Structure 1
Amino acid sequence: MKLIQLKPLTLGLMAACLLVAGGLVLLALQPAAADAVAPSATSKPALTVTLTQARAGTLPIKLTANGNLAAWQEASIGAEASGLRVQELLVQVGDRVQRGQLLARFAPEPVQAEVALARAALSEATANAAEAAANADRARAVQGTGALSAQQINVYLTQELTAKARVESAKAQLDTQLLRLSYTRVLAPDAGIISSRSATVGAVLGAGTEMFRLIRQGRLEWRAELTSSELSQVAVGTPVLVTAPGGAQTQGRVRMVAPTVDAQTRNGLVYVDLAAPKGGSAGNAATGVAASFKPGMFARGEFALGSSSAMTLPHSAVLVRDGFSYVMRVGADNKISQRKVQTGRRLGEQVEILAGVAAEDRLVASGVSFLTEGDLVRVVDASATLSKEKSTPAQVAPGQAASN
Structure 2
Amino acid sequence: MRTRFHVPAVLAGLLVALAGCSDDSGPESMPPLAQLETMTVEAGRGIGGRGWDGVVEAVQQADLSAQTGGRITTITVDVDDRVEQGQVLLRITEVEQQAGARMAQAALRAAEAAVVEAESNYRRFAALEDSQYVSRAQLDQARAARDSAMAARDAARADLAQAGRQTEYTVVRAPFAGIVSARRVEPGETVVPGQSLFSMHAPGALRIEVQVPQSEAAAIRAAGRAIVMLDDGRRVEAARLIVFPAAEPATHSVGVRVLLPDLEQSGQPAPQPGVTAKVLFPAATEQDADQGVVRVPYSALVQRGEVSGVYVLADDRLSLRQVRLGRRSGAHVGDGGVESDEVESDEVEVLAGLKPGERIATDPVAALQALAAQREAGGARP
Q: Sort the TM-score into its range (normalised by shorter chain).
A: 0.5 to 0.7
Aligned to 2:314: 329
State which of 55, 59, 62 in structure 1 corresponds to 2:45: 59
The alpha-carbon distance between structure 1 residues 255 and 90, as it changes in their structure 2 partners (threshold 3 A), is farther
CA distance in 1, matches of 2:346, 2:191: 62
The runs of 5 or more residues in structure 2 that have no matched partner are 1-28, 331-343
Matching of residue 183 in structure 1 with residue 169 in structure 2: yes
Shift of 1:199: 2.9
State which of 332, 335, 340 in structure 1 corresponds to 2:321: 340
CA distance in 1, matches of 2:140, 2:234: 83
Structure number with greater Rg is: 1
Comparing 188-197 with 349-358, greater Cα deviation is found at 349-358
The two structures, once aligned, show a CA RMSD in angstroms of 4.7
CA distance in 1, matches of 2:226, 2:144: 74
Aligned to 2:246: 259
The alpha-carbon distance between structure 1 residues 89 and 374, as it changes in their structure 2 partners (threshold 3 A), is closer
What one-letter code is carried by the residue in structure 1 that aligns with 2:196?
A: E
Question: Aligned runs of 1:290-309 on 2, under 5 Å?
Answer: 290=270, 293-305=271-283, 307=286, 308=289
Shift of 1:177: 1.2
State which of 145, 155, 179 in structure 2 corresponds to 1:169: 155
TM-score (norm 1): 0.61
Shift of 1:151: 6.3
Matching of residue 272 in structure 1 with residue 253 in structure 2: no
Shift of 1:63: 0.6
The alpha-carbon distance between structure 1 residues 352 and 210, as it changes in their structure 2 partners (threshold 3 A), is closer
CA distance in 1, matches of 2:312, 2:87: 65
Matching of residue 127 in structure 1 with residue 113 in structure 2: yes
**1:84-114 superposed Cα distances (whole Å, 9 cap, x missing partner):** 3333333323334444443322222322222
Instruction: Give the secondary-structure state (helix, strand or coil) at the position aligned to 2:167.
Output: helix
**1:298-336 superposed Cα distances (whole Å, 9 cap, x missing partner):** 333322226548799998xx6847442112322xxxx73
Shift of 1:143: 3.2
CA distance in 1, matches of 2:310, 2:30: 28
Matching of residue 197 in structure 1 with residue 183 in structure 2: yes
The alpha-carbon distance between structure 1 residues 50 and 249, as it changes in their structure 2 partners (threshold 3 A), is closer
Shift of 1:118: 1.9
The runs of 5 or more residues in structure 1 that have no matched partner are 1-42, 281-286, 379-404
The alpha-carbon distance between structure 1 residues 90 and 261, as it changes in their structure 2 partners (threshold 3 A), is same
Aligned to 1:283: none
Instruction: Give the secondary-structure state (helix, strand or coil) at the position aligned to 1:279.
Output: helix
Shift of 1:183: 2.0
Aligned to 2:19: none
Shift of 1:351: 10
Check the 8 A contact 1:228/1:261 in 2, yes or no: no
Check the 8 A contact 2:41/2:356 in 1, yes or no: no
Check the 8 A contact 2:83/2:174 in 1, yes or no: yes
Instruction: Give the secondary-structure state (helix, strand or coil) at the position aligned to 2:102.
Output: helix
Question: Aligned runs of 1:37-56 on 2, under 5 Å?
Answer: 45=31, 47=33, 54=40
CA distance in 1, matches of 2:96, 2:210: 51
The alpha-carbon distance between structure 1 residues 146 and 207, as it changes in their structure 2 partners (threshold 3 A), is same
The alpha-carbon distance between structure 1 residues 205 and 70, as it changes in their structure 2 partners (threshold 3 A), is same
**1:357-389 superposed Cα distances (whole Å, 9 cap, x missing partner):** 675x798999644125985999xxxxxxxxxxx
Q: Quick one: higher RCO (CA 8 Å, sep 6+), 1 or 2?
A: 2
